[in-house]
Amino acid sequence: MYESRFSHRSMIVSKNGVVASSQPLAVQAGIDILKKGGNAIDAAIAVATTLNIVEPMSCGIGGDAFALIFSKKDNKLHSLNASGWAPKNLSIDYFEEKGMDKIPELGLEAVSIPGAVSGFAKALERFGTMSFKEVLEPAIYYAEKGFPVSELVGSSWHRAVEKLHTHKATAKNYLPKGVAPRVGETFYSKDIAKTFKLIAKGGAEEFYKGSIAKKIVEFSEKNNGFFTLEDFAAFEAKWDDPISSKYKDYEVFQCPPNGQGIATLLGLNITKGFEMDSMIHNSSQYLHLLIEAKKLAWADLRTFAADPEFNKLPLEELLSDDYSTKQQNRIDLNKAAENVSPGLDWSHGDTIYLSVIDKDRNVVSFINSLYMGFGSGIVAEGTGICLQNRGSLFSLDRKHLNSLEPRKRPFQTIIPGMAFQNDLPVLNFGVMGGDMQPQGQMQVFLNLVDFGMNVQQAIEASRFRHYDDNFVALEEGIDLKTRVELINKGHKLRSNIREFFGGAQAIAIDYENDVLFGGSDPRRDGCAIGY
């Protein structure tokens, strides 16, 4: 039951296309591509690459990407994994010799091969109608001509100043005056503009086998890194079959591991065993159930989400109805669980989301990320490319499925989502923000399906965020009575000061009226725009 119809923003209602993401200039870049006759895939790459410029701490060509793409050409949903692998010359031996039990989050030890550019190229080649040169025009424009820094982007930039000062090339590119740019100040990125021009001309080949790869490898060698030209030349993004679960008359799709999308499906599989329709939205009963479902889903996620090319993962069993019932029976509706183990026997030893739908109803759910703000804090000299730090998510436990191995993809947090009814996409959605992504997706999806909210209301509704240390943060709007009742059930609450509850974007399709409904999170700088 959901009583309030209030939201801070109205939905965007449009027929010919909608773009939603976390920065307005990037959203407008996508709309411009659609107006020029490009499709949703062309627009998505334009948005992602523009975000590399206007929201540089969150994403970029030095990072990774995942996408779900519904193509009207073949009426089929495709999953794209553009996450990079570990260098061939880096192994657990290196860290053991140094007496380290965890991979650091900063520096070249944390960097895996950036996969995004290969993903962009594969998406454009298979489904796009435009060239790299055409879709990169907005990014190159803002890199050369500059852009005024937006409010939350500026705030994130200021918080990263210490990190950006750790390396000369990083500071040169992102602290040109020695300080972070102020909100409203125009920022230019000449080095990345040159790099984008090279990609516009030479495509992914230039990034992985040409001058860009050579610059990154040379930089790595000069700074005791691990990259080789062979690491870059051998890498390719890959197409996968999506994974899915049923919820009522919806089928919810995610990219398969090494991403964490399976956690959304595991959580929904647990909640569907309870009388959700009878619960009051964001009541203690409702929040308790979702938090407990999240704990069970995360126990499996932390155990089984890894590179499937190195491991046989029990995905079919994890997503089965029998397993869902078993997990449902583990929930105590009156008491918070403290130590949650995986449901299967285990015997082996800052991000952006964008959503685009075009006039033909091609649908793209897309995430591009550097992982933490400005990734590893390393910019390869002369390129302007900020390198991600996804390699820090590998385990150094040799028995773990996600253990570091050469040419292996690490566990990834980035997860685009899509929901179907009657074999057609009806909802394109995502919630960026580390491990907030699956729990945020669950909350947004259930807001729509079980509580009748529109896409904007579903995004704006107050959220919880559960942490691995078993603490729960509750957003403003969840009342004191509910908080007390959750404490009485054994939940440990923490202050929500400076907590991030995710940035969501969503577009719904109304086939009866042939219109699109777009929503965008007021927790970020972005918007949804239609035409």
Q: What is the pLDDT of residues 277-292, one digit of tens each?
A: 899 999 999 999 999 9
Whether 16 maps to a domain, the answer reads no
Q: Which domain holds residue 425?
A: 240-349+415-530
Neighbours of 294 (CB within 10 A): 27
> Is the sign of the CA dihedral 25, 27, 29, 35 positive or negative?
negative
- 464 and 386 belong to one structural domain: no
Neighbours of 64 (CB within 10 A): 31
* CA 241/CA 302 separation, integer angstroms: 22
The CATH code of the domain that includes 301 is: 3.60.20.40
What pLDDT, on the 0 to 100 scale, is given for residue 1?
Answer: 45
The residue among 114, 125, 138, 169 whose CA lies nearest residue 368 is 114
Please give the C-alpha separations between residue 412 and each of 50, 271, 372, 425, 501, in angstroms, as whole numbers: 22, 24, 12, 25, 19
What pLDDT, on the 0 to 100 scale, is given for residue 349?
Answer: 30
Measured N-to-C along each axis, helices 137-145 and 190-209 cross at an angle, to the nearest 10 degrees, of: 140
- 245 and 326 belong to one structural domain: yes
- Considering only CA atoms, give the Rg of the chain: 22
Whether 31 maps to a domain, the answer reads no
Question: Residue 500 in contact with residue 14, Cβ under 8 Å?
Answer: no
Q: Which two tokens stand for residue 317?
A: 């069993």
Q: What is the mean pLDDT of residues 66-87?
A: 97
Please give the C-alpha separations between residue 399 and each of 254, 344, 349, 353, 403, in angstroms, as whole numbers: 27, 16, 4, 33, 7
493: pLDDT strictly greater than 70: yes
* CA 489/CA 515 separation, integer angstroms: 44
What pLDDT, on the 0 to 100 scale, is given for residue 343?
Answer: 81
Name the pTM for this structure: 0.95
- 145 and 187 belong to one structural domain: yes
What pLDDT, on the 0 to 100 scale, is given for residue 342?
Answer: 86
- 107 and 223 belong to one structural domain: yes
Helix spans in 210-345 (H): 211-222, 229-233, 261-271, 284-304, 315-318, 321-328
Q: What pLDDT band is residue 5 in, cutting at 50, 70 and 90?
A: low
Whether 3 maps to a domain, the answer reads no
Give Cα 62 to chain centroid, integer Å. 15
- 312 and 427 belong to one structural domain: yes
Angle at CA of residue 235, ends 196 and 318, nearest 5° = 115
- 377 and 322 belong to one structural domain: no
Whether 499 maps to a domain, the answer reads yes
Q: What is the mean pLDDT of residues 432-459?
A: 95
SS3 172: helix
Q: Is 351 a catalytic residue?
A: yes
- 55 and 143 belong to one structural domain: yes
Question: Residue 285 in contact with residue 459, Cβ under 8 Å?
Answer: no
- 149 and 127 belong to one structural domain: yes
Domain count, the chain: 2
147-190 per-position pLDDT tens digit: 999 999 999 999 999 999 999 999 999 998 899 999 999 999 99
- 106 and 225 belong to one structural domain: yes
Whether 372 maps to a domain, the answer reads yes
Query: Which residue in 49, 264, 351, 413 is the catalytic one?
Result: 351
Helix (H) or strand (E) holding 163: helix 161-164
Q: Which two tokens stand for residue 523?
A: 């927790």
* CA 364/CA 45 separation, integer angstroms: 10
Partners of 70 in the β-ladder: 77, 363
68: pLDDT strictly greater than 70: yes
The residue among 421, 440, 83, 413 whose CA lies nearest residue 259 is 413
What pLDDT, on the 0 to 100 scale, is given for residue 74?
Answer: 94
* CA 195/CA 72 separation, integer angstroms: 33
Whether 10 maps to a domain, the answer reads no
Give Cα 335 to chain centroid, integer Å. 32
Q: What is the mean pLDDT of residues 321-342?
A: 94
What pLDDT, on the 0 to 100 scale, is given for residue 346?
Answer: 46
Task: Label residue 177 exposed, middle or buried (CB < 10 Å: 0-12, 13-18, 19+).
Answer: exposed
Q: What is the mean pLDDT of residues 299-303?
A: 93
What pLDDT, on the 0 to 100 scale, is given for residue 6?
Answer: 62
Least confident range from 377-381, 453-457, 494-498: namely 494-498
Using the 8-state DSSP alphabet, how is residue 411 labeled?
P
What pLDDT, on the 0 to 100 scale, is given for residue 495?
Answer: 84
Question: Residue 33 in contact with residue 43, Cβ under 8 Å?
Answer: yes
4: pLDDT strictly greater than 80: no
- 344 and 467 belong to one structural domain: yes
Q: What is the mean pLDDT of residues 97-117?
A: 96
The residue among 145, 490, 426 whose CA lies nearest residue 287 is 490
Question: Residue 44 in contact with residue 128, Cβ under 8 Å?
Answer: no
Percent of the chain clearing pLDDT 70 (strictly above): 98
Whether 401 maps to a domain, the answer reads no
- 503 and 468 belong to one structural domain: yes
Whether 9 maps to a domain, the answer reads no
209-226 per-position pLDDT tens digit: 999 999 999 999 999 999
Q: Which amino acid is it at 294?
A: K
What pLDDT, on the 0 to 100 scale, is given for residue 348?
Answer: 35
Q: Which two tokens stand for residue 177?
A: 């005056």
The average confidence (pLDDT) of the chain is 94
Neighbours of 328 (CB within 10 A): 18
- 379 and 340 belong to one structural domain: no
